[in-house]
Amino acid sequence: MPGPLTGLKVIELGGIGPAPFCSMLLADLGAAVTRIERPQGVRLVSSAIPPLEPPIDVLHRGKDVEYLDLKVAEGRETAFELLKTADIAIEGFRPGTMERLGLGPAECFAENSRLIYGRMTGWGGSGPMAQTAGHDINYLALTGALDAIGAPGQPPTVPLNLVGDFGGGGLMLAFGLLAALHERTLSGKGQIVDAAIVDGVSVLMASLYGLRSFGLEAAPRGTNVGDGGCPFYGVYECADGRYVAVGALEEPFFKRLLELLALPNEWSSRFDKECWPAIRERFAERFMLRSRDEWCRLANGSDACVTPVLDSAEAPGHPHAVARGAFFTHQGVTQPAPAPRFSRTPAVVAETSGTRTGEVNHG
pTM above 0.85, yes or no: yes
CATH number, domain at 274? 3.30.1540.10
**Please, are residues 90 and 172 in contact by the beta-carbon 8 Å criterion?**
no
Let me know if residue 105 belongs to a domain: yes
Say yes or no: 249 and 124 in one domain.
no
* pLDDT of 301 over the 80 cut: yes
Catalytic residue among 28, 57, 136, 165: 165
Lowest mean pLDDT among 167-171, 212-216, 254-258, 338-342: 212-216
Question: Which residues share a beta bridge with 193?
Answer: 118
Q: Are residues 39 and 180 in the same domain?
A: yes
Same structural domain, 189 and 256 = no
Q: Are residues 131 and 172 in the same domain?
A: yes
The confidence score (pLDDT) of residue 269 equals 85
Range of the domain at 189: 9-204+327-362
Considering the domain boundaries, does residue 187 fall inside one? yes
- Residue 219 included in any domain: no
Residue 228 covered by a domain? no
pLDDT confidence band for 15 (50 / 70 / 90): confident
* Same-domain pairing of 138 and 77: yes
Q: Tell me, yes or no, whether 194 and 82 share the same domain.
A: yes
165 is catalytic: yes
Residues 106 and 186 grouped into a single domain: yes
Instruction: State how far the Cα of 199 lies from the Cα of 205, in Å rounded to an integer.
Output: 10
Q: What letter represents residue 169's amino acid?
A: G
Flag whether pLDDT at 33 surpasses 90: yes
Residues 6+ apart with CB under 8 A from 106: 99
Q: Residue 213: which pLDDT band, with cuts at 50, 70 and 90?
A: confident
Nearest to 249 by CA among 264, 227, 222: 227
The CATH number of residue 91's host domain is 3.40.50.10540
Give the integer Cα–Cα distance in Å for 148 and 45: 27
Alpha-carbon distance of 235 to 39, in angstroms, equals: 46
The per-residue pLDDT for 362 is: 52
Q: Choose among 52, 6, 50: nearest CA to 28.
A: 6
Q: Is the domain of 91 the same as that of 159?
A: yes
pLDDT tens column, 44-100: 444 444 444 445 789 999 999 999 999 999 999 999 999 999 999 999 999 999 999
Say if residue 361's pLDDT is above 90.
no
Report the number of distinct structural domains present in the chain: 2
Asked, for residue 43, whether it belongs to a domain, the answer is: yes
> Do both 152 and 60 map to the same domain?
yes
